[in-house]
Amino acid sequence: MVQKREICFKVFRFDPDRDSKPYFQAYQVPFVRKDLTVLEGLFYIQEKLDNSLAFRSSCRSAVCGSCAMHINGGYGLACNTLVSSLKGNKITIRPLGHMNIIKDLFVDLEPFWKKYEFIKPYLISKTLPSDHERLQSHSERAKLDGLIDCILCGCCYSSCMVTLTKDEYLGPAALLWANRFYVDSRDDAKDERLAIVNVENGVWRCHTIFNCHQSCPKSLNPASCITNLKMKLI
């Protein structure tokens, strides 16, 4: 007989309209399938135990970036974190960091998006062939690998020690995208791009702590992108 095990989800709760301060609430979630994910656990809580729990989700396959949160001491995606990969019988879940709480794990990402938009995240190209594609060699295209995979989930932004202390800092995700367009052989706005990040709260704020690299669920390295931009500026 399969023994029914349970695992405790200790979840951050806060409704700014009703609660004077945040608190943690513990829920028991049955752990019967070995591939149970943290996101599935949260849905069990929301659907079967407590309809009030708020969190975002969409693709459940680690490509949309909706369900980033702080799980047992590290940032990650709830959908691709297997409960079995976590140590102990208790999982502690908090929302993304340095962001205002709308409710529970549902945070206000507007400042994060504003910074992404600030770096002009679109190709600026002054010469276009009329009826065919621009050519790009394998090696030119390869420079985009590891940059275009960013899902803008906010893990790097939340784990960064500089965004913690300096609200205005553009942060690792926005700067990764600045570098993505800078290194694209098709982009004609190199100087403009460098000027955008060559500001007090741009690349120079980065202290190369590499939390962003460590926390990235797609194994990308925003810190090295920032370093690349710094090198071009020197």
Partner 1 sequence: MKPIYHDTIVVGGGLAGLRAALELNRRNVKVALISKVYPLRSHSVAAQGGINAALGNHPRGYYDNWEKHAFDTVKGSDYLADQDAVIRMTKEALERVIELEHWGCPFDRNDEGKIAQRPFGGAGFPRTCYSTDKTGHALLHTLYEQIVKFRQIAERKELVLYNEWLVTKMVVEDGKCIGLIGLDIKSGNLSAFKTNAVIFATGGSGRIYGKTTNALINTGMGMAVPYWSGVPLKDMEFIQFHPTTLVGKNILITEGCRGEGGYLLNNKGERFLEKYKDSEKTMEVAPRDIISRNITKEIMEGGGYEDPADPTSRHVLLDLRHLGEDRIMSRLSGIREICMKFAGIDPVYEPIPVQPGQHYTMGGIDCNIESETQIKGLYVAGEAACVSVHGANRLGGNSLLETIVFGTVAGENAANYTQGTTYGSVPSPTGRRPPRCNNKDNILDDALKCENRKIESILNSNGNENPSNIREELNKLMEENVGIFRNAEALKSALNRIKQLQERYTSISLNYKERRTNLSLMWVLELKGSLDVAEAIIAGALAREESRGSQFRTDFTERNDEDFLKHTLAYFSDEGVRLDYKEVTLGRFEPKAREY
Which residues bind to partner 1, rule: CB under 8 A?
2, 15, 17, 35, 46-48, 50-66, 80, 82, 102-104, 106, 109, 113, 117, 120-123, 125, 128, 131-138, 141, 144, 148-149, 151-152, 181, 184, 186-187, 218
| Token pair listed for 75 | 């940032």
Cβ distance to partner 1 smaller for residue 128 or 199? 128
Element spanning 42, H or E: helix 38-44
**Best CA proximity match to 115, nearest among 76, 57, 154:** 154
Cβ distance to partner 1 smaller for residue 136 or 201? 136
Smallest separation (angstroms) from partner 1 to the CB of 165: 27
| Token pair listed for 55 | 């969190």
5: phi then psi, degrees, rounded to nearest 5:
-105, 155
Cβ distance to partner 1 smaller for residue 35 or 200? 35
Smallest separation (angstroms) from partner 1 to the CB of 217: 9
Smallest separation (angstroms) from partner 1 to the CB of 137: 5
**Best CA proximity match to 97, nearest among 151, 159, 54:** 159
Smallest separation (angstroms) from partner 1 to the CB of 134: 7
Smallest separation (angstroms) from partner 1 to the CB of 117: 5
Residue type, 200: E
The answer to whether residues 207 and 178 touch, using CB atoms and an 8 Å cutoff, is: no
Cβ distance to partner 1 smaller for residue 161 or 199? 199
| Token pair listed for 117 | 């938009």
